[in-house]
Amino acid sequence: MTKPNLTLYLAAPRGFCAGVDRAIKIVEMALEKWGAPVFVRHEIVHNKFVVDGLRDKGAIFVEELSDCPDDRPVIFSAHGVAKVVPAEAERRQMIYVDATCPLVSKVHIEAERHYENGLQIIMIGHAGHPETIGTMGQLPDGEVLLVETVDDVATVDVRDPGKLAFVTQTTLSVDDTKDIVAALQARFPAIVGPHKEDICYATTNRQEAVKAVAGKVEAMLVVGAPNSSNSRRLVEVGAKAGCAYAQLVQRADNIDWRALDGISSVAITAGASAPEVLVTEVIDAFRARFNVTVEQVETAVERVNFKVPRVLRDVETEN
């Protein structure tokens, strides 16, 4: 039986960003330096395949510092943690390594600077997301207020409308965030914004690549985890950019083939915490069912690289 023809458009950039790459490397280097087990507070990045791979090497993933023994190293995830977490680790005299993405740390520093200047901060982000919890936890209770939508802006209760600043989670939809920022500026004309966009380069680049490819295809698959904020935003961006069917898949075996019946063009991208091996797996699944032509649609080239913390650089030198 002849396979139907299908064009696969690969969006680029896609997949791992520099912050995710660094966080995974930190766990691997910690295991090399201290041996197993190494404890990791929260999933190091939001991807089951990555987490399972590190678990197989000897990492133990926990949700709280209280789940860790005093005598083994602990790593804080790429999403960042509230200040009380490293403070508690120091009190317990634990060895800890902070794998917070440097672009998230930049937002933390920004929030502290605004606080020192006497400003109350409004954070645009998703309630319950570890990055939001970590950023809000840099300052005392009540100093950072959370808004998730344009509607939230109308009801947020601030201390002084003339002394406000805003920061954002790094993995939001660029377009949705613009609308929320505009609403904040309309209600609080004196509000101070970041010098440079808080939404990280990788989130922005992946969303731009999705917009470039969405109009060319009948369907789009985003390889990523359901708890990955940036992956879920890619699905939303694809749908808003005109793609009739945009879906998140963790692995090739999550693909709903019935929904793709009769189509001739599909776009594939991956969230910033999804490894390229999973994209390859998805492409191979299409090759098994279709006569596939692959086209790359590249909108940016990324050359960002972040150093690992100093405590692990001796391992890097040995390698």
* Residues assigned a catalytic role: 131
Q: Which residues contact 274 (CB under 8 A, 6 or more apart)?
A: 14, 15, 16, 47, 49, 223, 224, 225, 228, 231
Residue 16, both tokens: 């791992």
Angstrom distance (rounded) from CA 250 to CA 214? 20
- Tokens 């678990």 locate to 55
Angstrom distance (rounded) from CA 171 to CA 174? 9
Residue 69's alpha-carbon distances to 39, 79, 169, 171, in angstroms, are 9, 22, 31, 32
Residue 254, both tokens: 């999550």
Angstrom distance (rounded) from CA 16 to CA 264? 28
Angstrom distance (rounded) from CA 300 to CA 194? 23
Residue 181, both tokens: 């920022």
